[in-house]
Amino acid sequence: MQISGRAKLFVPVVIFLSMLALLLFGLGRDPNLVPSALVNRPLPEFTKPDLFDASATVSSTQLRGGIFVVNVWATWCPPCHAEHPYLVEISERETDITFVGVNYKDDADAARAFLQERGNPFKFSLTDLDGSLGIDLGVAGAPETFIVDSTGTIVYRHVGMIDNKVWATIFAPLIAKIQ
């Protein structure tokens, strides 16, 4: 009886230590990351105006049969400016990947001028003026980048800037796997 009574008093320290382990686990994670519900789901269907030709459209059916990197960007977003040179460089290097630019809630004239001046990494450029495609893609802001495989399934969503290191450590291995 005496022993079991004493053992009970160890319950608080056991609870505390397990909580501490949980907190330690918590420190290693990125608290601001918002998970995507769209990974392993098909790319949502859409038909949106072409950025360079308002009378033409780009639709999701065109994004089939290859690997696509869909980049959500805008001229009002500073990190998009920062990642742009990397996108240009990578798109020139990785010729078997199709880059798609979703110009998100932006001024189309400014976007066109931006791409003409700094280089255009995108094979397809579409405008999402009202942000509805953004909502369908579950984006929280810009830049965000999605990898779509040849079956039209989203395999990865990246929040924030892309640079050479991000590409080499995250994108390249994933793309090598699905190729």
Partner 1 sequence: MIPELGNFALMLALCLASLQAVVPMAGSFTNNQLWMSLARPLSSGLWVFMVLSFSCLAYAFLHDDFTVAYIARNSNTLLPVYYKFAAVWGAHEGSLLLWVLILATWGYAVSLLSSNLPLDILARVLSVMGIITSGFLAFLLFTSNPFERLLLNAPTEGTDLNPLLQDFGLIIHPPFLYMGYVGFSVAFSFAIAALLTGRLDAAWARWTRPWTNAAWAFLTCGIALGSWWAYYELGWGGWWFWDPVENVSFMPWLVGTALIHSLAVTEKRGVFKSWTVLLAIAAFSLSLLGAFIVRSGLITSVHAFAVDPARGIVLLTLLLLIIGSSLVLYAIRAPVVMGTATYGSWSREVFLLINNIILVVATAMILLGTLFPLIHEAIYGEANRVSIGAPYFNALFLPLMALLAMFLGLATFSRWKKTSLDYFKQQTGKLLLAAVSLGIVIPFLVTAKVNMGAMFAVILALWIIGSIAKDVVSKARNKQNLLAGLRSLSLSYCGMQVAHFGFAIVVLGICLTSHYSVEEDVRLATGESISIGKYEFRFDGVVEREGPNYTANSATIQVFQNGEEYLTMHPEKRIYHARGDVQTEADIQIGLFRDLFTALGDPRGDDAWVVRIHVKPFVIWIWMGAFIMALGGITAILDKRYRSKKLVNSPVLEAGVMQPVLEH
Partner 2 sequence: MNKFIALMLLCFSLLATSTFAAIDDLTFTSPEAEVRYHQLIDEMRCPMCLNANLSGSDAPIAADLRAEIFKQIQEGRTNPEIIEFMRARYGDFIMYRPPLNRGTVLLWFGPGALLLAGFFILRRMLAAAHAAPATEKLSTEEMQQLNSILDDSKD
Size of the site for partner 1 (CB under 8 A): 25
Enumerate helices (H) and strands (E) in the chain, giving the number of each.
7, 7
176 interface partner picked from partner 1, partner 2, none, CB below 5 to 8 A per type: none
The H or E element that residue 144 is part of is strand 144-148
Binding piece for partner 1, criterion CB under 8 A, among 19-27, 65-73, 81-89, 90-98: 19-27
Given the complex with partner 1, which of 26 and 173 has the nearer CB atom? Answer: 26
Structural tokens at position 96: 């078997």
Q: Is 109 helix (H, G, I), strand (E, B) or coil?
A: helix
67 interface partner picked from partner 2, partner 1, none, CB below 5 to 8 A per type: none
26 near partner 1, judged by CB under 8 A: yes
CA-nearest of 160, 136, 173, 167 to 37 is 136
Binding site for partner 2 (CB under 8 A): 30, 32, 34-38, 77-79, 82-83, 105, 131-132, 134-141, 143, 159-161, 163, 165-166
Structural tokens at position 53: 């030709």
The H or E element that residue 157 is part of is strand 154-159
- Binding region for partner 1 (CB under 8 A): 2, 5-6, 9-10, 12-13, 16-17, 19-20, 22-27, 29, 31-36, 39
